[in-house]
Amino acid sequence: MFKEVLEGLIARVQEAQGAAMIGVDGIPIAEIPIRAGIDLEKIAAECTSLIKTAVATGRALDHGMPQELVLRCEEAQTLLRSVTPEYYLCLVLDPQAWTGRARYELQKASWRLEGELG
């Protein structure tokens, strides 16, 4: 099921370099690399610290759980979307990609997986 959702997500987002379903423990449950050399395991492990910081910040500010995180770097953009408090979808995009469509498709995919996990 996870791979099917990731494949659909990548098919609808042309600028995708890869996608993964990750747990907050940093371990990818499913992953699909598109760009050669992309290390989704490393990305998942490093992004968990961002997720944990965002969760703590949301609680400290009484804003609730983070729904989405965006990391824009020189070589790529990484979008993280909450599926459940324990699982996030991770989508890595080209650095100049427009994120609107990607964020929309990521949200749709998270809703689909939430129904499976919930």
pLDDT band with cut points at 50, 70 and 90 for residue 114: confident
- Mean per-residue pLDDT, 29-58: 93
The pTM is what? 0.93
Q: With 0-12 CB in 10 A as exposed, 13-18 as middle and 19+ as buried, what is 58?
A: middle
**Structure-derived torsion over alpha carbons of residues 59, 63, 69, 71, reported in degrees to the nearest 10:** -80
For residues 92 and 18, the answer to whether their CB atoms sit within 8 Å is yes
- Mean per-residue pLDDT, 31-51: 92
Domains in the chain and their CATH numbers? Answer: 2-117 (3.30.450.30)
